[in-house]
Amino acid sequence: MRSVKTRGELMAQTKLDLLLERFAQHDRIALARLITLVENRAAQVSSVMERIYAQTGHAYIIGVTGAPGAGKSTLVNRLITKYRSQGKLVAVVAIDPSSPFSGGAVLGDRVRMTDHYNDAGVYIRSLSTRGYHGGLSRAAREIVKLLDAFGFDMIILETVGVGQTELSVMDLADTTLVVTVPEGGDGVQVMKAGLNEIADLFVVNKADRDGADRIKAELELSVHLRPAGGWRPPVVMTQASADVGIDALITQIERHRAYLAEHRDAARESERRTREFMEVLASEIEERTTRALRQGAVNGAQRLIEGVREGTLNPYSAVRKVVEDRRILSALLSSEQERAEQE
């Protein structure tokens, strides 16, 4: 019977309960463990999210994106300091591209953010983009939810602004900062990369360098091409390494926050919630089927896969057979325990 839990299941359940209890008591080790579960796409992730969801919705989420080396981490470091001086609890998720070129950036981030390592009001976590196959935005979303439920006031997401994945991660942010630098036609790059549309605020960092005024003018021009009436992203000049312009940046973030609060768009919010549902549904199905197939646990499906592997059955016919067979489908979507019980 389904209601009878196996010994192993009960033990896993108790362990998870304990972890969630410690999480509720603001135990950072429990927080780190839960984030690791999310990173490893463990089967318990969905039930963790169900349990903590009601505690979310309080944090303000700032996305920071832009070209490699633009000074994002340096800027984030400055933001942490300012927000900490306001007594806010700050979490940072730095999403690292998996290319070896950026491997050094992880270390760089660590080095630059060490100022805050002994501060219990600050939590910094790096997240590798490796091995997610498009599920990164779900993982990032879940980590943000965990940090939110844990009680952080400000959550800062740093990504290198390349590719669809990064853009989808920025969808989580309330305010998205696009960081540019004076050199190399960065303004044009921003437009090309589609960062223009997601920016709530442009930052021209390294304003100590030549050409800062020019890129500021370029960006301001692009802002004026936006349809009138909505939010117009301001362009803020900073010198993150010299701690210049950070107060103005924070003021603009607050302005955007106030704007959002004033212009709460119910339609946009339901759209966002629906998107979240669709994303979780799709990836839950993918994760469950992948797990079931990897464990070789689904008889009928195994035979079809053999056929595909040997070239005697084309993948489309195999998939049609799977989706038209309720028993296979239900086994694919069942949890490990449920499958064991069904046998």
Ligand X SMILES: Nc1nc2c(ncn2[C@@H]2O[C@H](COP(=O)(O)OP(=O)(O)OP(=O)(O)O)[C@@H](O)[C@H]2O)c(=O)[nH]1
Q: Which residue among 59, 63, 71, 234 contacts ligand X (CB under 6 A)?
A: 71
* C-beta of 68 vs 121, nearer to ligand X: 68
* C-beta of 143 vs 292, nearer to Mg ion: 143
- Taking alpha carbons only, the member of 169, 174, 189 closest to residue 231 is 174
Asked if residue 116 binds ligand X (CB under 6 A), the reply is no
* Site residues for Mg ion per CB under 5 A: 72-73, 109
**How many residues bind to ligand X according to rule CB under 6 A?**
19
* C-beta of 109 vs 166, nearer to Mg ion: 109
Angle at which helices 136-150 and 163-170 cross, to 10°: 30
* C-beta of 149 vs 161, nearer to Mg ion: 161
Asked if residue 283 binds ligand X (CB under 6 A), the reply is no
Q: What Å distances lie between residue 117 and 65, 108, 111, 126, 270, CA to CA?
A: 23, 14, 10, 14, 38
Rg over CA atoms, the chain: 23
Binding mask 290-329 for ligand X (x = CB under 6 A): ----------------------------------------
Shortest approach of ligand X to residue 77 CB, angstroms?
A: 8
Q: Do residues 253 and 200 touch, judged by C-beta distance below 8 A?
A: no
Q: Which residue among 74, 165, 176, 252 contacts ligand X (CB under 6 A)?
A: 74
- Taking alpha carbons only, the member of 15, 24, 60 closest to residue 150 is 24
What string of DSSP letters covers 68-113? TTSSHHHHHHHHHHHHHHTT--EEEEEEE-SSHHHHHHHHHHHHHH
* C-beta of 65 vs 283, nearer to Mg ion: 65
Phi and psi, residue 58, nearest 5°: -100, -30
* C-beta of 157 vs 298, nearer to ligand X: 157
Q: Restricting to residues 193-232, which ones interact with ligand X according to CB under 6 A?
A: 205-206, 208-209
Phi and psi, residue 52, nearest 5°: -95, -10
What is the 8-class DSSP label of residue 239?
B
Q: Which residues pair with 122 in a beta bridge?
A: 90
Shortest approach of ligand X to residue 167 CB, angstroms?
A: 16
Asked if residue 70 binds ligand X (CB under 6 A), the reply is yes
Shortest approach of Mg ion to residue 203 CB, angstroms?
A: 14
* Residue 69 near which of Mg ion, ligand X, none (CB within 5-8 Å, type-dependent): ligand X
- Distance, in Å, from the CA atom of 182 to the CA atom of 219, rounded to the nearest integer, reads 11
Asked if residue 69 binds ligand X (CB under 6 A), the reply is yes
* Residue 71 near which of Mg ion, ligand X, none (CB within 5-8 Å, type-dependent): ligand X
Instruction: Return the range that interacts with ligand X (CB under 6 A); candidates 65-73, 114-122, 188-196, 317-325.
Output: 65-73
- Taking alpha carbons only, the member of 191, 163, 159, 189 closest to residue 176 is 159
Q: Where are the beta strands (DSSP E) in the chain?
A: 60-66, 90-96, 122-128, 154-160, 175-180, 201-204, 235-237
- Distance, in Å, from the CA atom of 248 to the CA atom of 235, rounded to the nearest integer, reads 10
Asked if residue 129 binds ligand X (CB under 6 A), the reply is no
List interacting residues with ligand X (CB under 6 A): 68-74, 102, 105, 108, 112, 160, 205-206, 208-209, 239-241
